[in-house]
Amino acid sequence: MTETDPQHLAERYIAQWTEPDAARRRAAIESLWAADGTHVLQPPAEIREIAADLGFDHPTLRAEGHDAIETRVTRGYQRFVAKGELTFRPRADAVRLDGVVRFGWDTVAVGSGEVVGGGLELLVLDPDGRIRTDYMFPGA
């Protein structure tokens, strides 16, 4: 397996979510992700509660492949970063165990620098060091 510095990977991963240029964002996705990579999101508590009321025990949201991941990342950028009020940054806690990288990230208010949220990522890498599966846990 390709050696990948976990903190550098965390920084590149977060950078794709904050990249304003669509072409550079797509290039970042193609360099980070396996062609058949999957982003798996644990939805916020309110969505999990609605799903549980409907009989779904373990709801997850998925984006598979570069095009779907690009849509997900672009919408995340538009919703959280493009307005200039929030940004994301990786925490300095990235670690790698075999083909898995774990790190936390913060959502930061641009004006004050205050941390207003965040989460946890578990990235399963393919033999080339690209993301095969990304498990995102907002709020962690």
pLDDT at 1 exceeding the cut of 70: no
All domains of the chain in start order, with CATH: 6-138 (3.10.450.50)
Contacts 24+ apart (CB under 8 A), 80-84: 80/17, 80/107, 81/17, 81/18, 81/20, 82/20, 84/110
Quickly tell me which residue has 């200039």 as its tokens: 84
DSSP 3-state of 74: helix
Predicted confidence (pLDDT) per residue in 84-139, tens digit = 999 999 999 999 999 999 999 999 999 999 999 999 999 999 999 999 999 999 98
Q: What is the pLDDT of residue 140?
A: 74
Question: Is 92 exposed, middle or buried (CB count within 10 Å of its CB: 0-12, 13-18, 19+)?
Answer: exposed
Q: What is the pLDDT of residue 46?
A: 79
Predicted confidence (pLDDT) per residue in 33-64, tens digit = 999 999 999 877 777 788 788 887 777 889 99
Count CB-CB contacts under 10 A for residue 81.
18
Nearest to residue 107, comparing CAs of 127, 133, 79? 79
